Amino acid sequence: MRRLRLEAELQAQGLDERTIVNTVEEIYAESSERTIALQLLHARAVTPAFLRRRGFSEDTIESVVSQDR
């Protein structure tokens, strides 16, 4: 899940801004958006449309799909 979508979902759950920032920073400190997209691509047969719906950027999608070929 992309950073912005994750933040939006956490806000929708009513979490305070500080908790959201700390949580998102912790998640993305461990893995970049590109790494997460690659893991999803390898874990199951996902399509670029799946990644797009999950909020990944077009640059990330193109990068991981072209690397996977």
For the chain, report the end-to-end CA distance as a whole number of angstroms: 22
Cα dist from 25 to 29, 35, 36, 54, whole Å? 6, 15, 14, 18
Q: Judge if 39 and 69 occupy the same domain.
A: yes
**Domain encompassing residue 42:** 32-69
Total domain count for the chain? 2
Q: Under a CB-based contact definition with an 8 Å cutoff, are residues 24 and 16 in contact?
A: no
Condensed to tens digits (0 to 9), the pLDDT of residues 9-18 reads: 888 888 899 9
Dump pLDDT digits (tens) for 47-69: 888 888 888 888 888 888 887 65
Rounded average pLDDT over 38-45? 71
Query: Do residue 52 and residue 68 come from a single domain?
Result: yes
Q: Are residues 37 and 65 in the same domain?
A: yes
